[in-house]
Amino acid sequence: MRGSRAGRGGGPAVRLRRRLGLEHNELRRHIDRVQRTIALGLLLLMLAVAPPLAFWAGTWSYHAGGAAERAERAQRHQVVATVVSTGGIGSSGDRYIHETVQATWPGAGGAARTGTLPSWKNAKVGAHRTIWIDARGDPTVRPRPHSRTVTDAAYASTAAVLGVAMPILLAYLLVRRRCDHRRDEMWEADWARMDAAGQR
């Protein structure tokens, strides 16, 4: 009993051939084999193009991010700002309003700079806070972290894969739609022949 079942089911190679439509089957039409062949070709195309393109995009993004990291580290550094007055109001865009403080900090070449900074909890005159400044001495954000470079590289690789996969998937869907339409026409023709034969 087990032997007969194994014979009918076949081994992994036989089942793979059956799934790919490569075995001889009287019920399988030529259009089915055409669709399977095109699908396999599109799959091989994606496997041939997507990995190297994803590697190139990820590598390019990683190197560009690394260069940005080094440039920002070279141009930005930390200084200690001292609050000289509190109670100011600032805005970011049209909706967000926040409190600000006036502070002084050493700028480029050691010259004192005065400007507005976002306030923080319990900020008082004379309080100190470490801030980042650029080459001109203006307040700025911290240099680009390495984690962002890695994340951007992963996003670039993913985008490259999707950029290849989506057109290929669209092409397959169009092929499948055309093949389905052809199969419907063939079924209609077969039913018509059967009806004509039954009326004789």
Would 177 be classed as within a structural domain? yes
3-class DSSP assignment, residue 136: coil
For residues 70 and 94, membership in a common domain is answered with no
Q: pLDDT per residue over 123-147, tens digit each? A: 899 999 999 999 899 999 999 999 9
Would 66 be classed as within a structural domain? yes
The residue among 40, 12, 36, 41 whose CA lies nearest residue 25 is 36
DSSP string, 75-143: H-EEEEEEEEEEEEEEEETTTEEEEEEEEEEE-GGG-EEEEEEE--TT--TT-EEEEEE-TTS-EEPPP
Domain range enclosing 114: 77-142
pLDDT for residue 3 is more than 50 = no
**Are residues 127 and 82 in contact, defined by beta-carbon separation less than 8 angstroms?**
yes
Phi, psi angle pair for 10, to nearest 5°: 80, 170
Tell me what pLDDT residue 125 has.
Answer: 92
Would 51 be classed as within a structural domain? yes
Q: pLDDT per residue over 40-99, tens digit each? A: 999 999 999 999 999 999 999 999 999 999 999 999 999 999 999 987 776 665 566 778
Count of domains in the chain? 2
- Mean pLDDT comparison of 5-19, 30-44, 112-126, 159-173, highest-scoring range: 159-173
Per cent of the chain over pLDDT 90 is 52
Tell me what pLDDT residue 6 has.
Answer: 46
**Are residues 157 and 51 in contact, defined by beta-carbon separation less than 8 angstroms?**
no
Would 10 be classed as within a structural domain? no
For residues 188 and 164, membership in a common domain is answered with yes
For residues 87 and 103, membership in a common domain is answered with yes
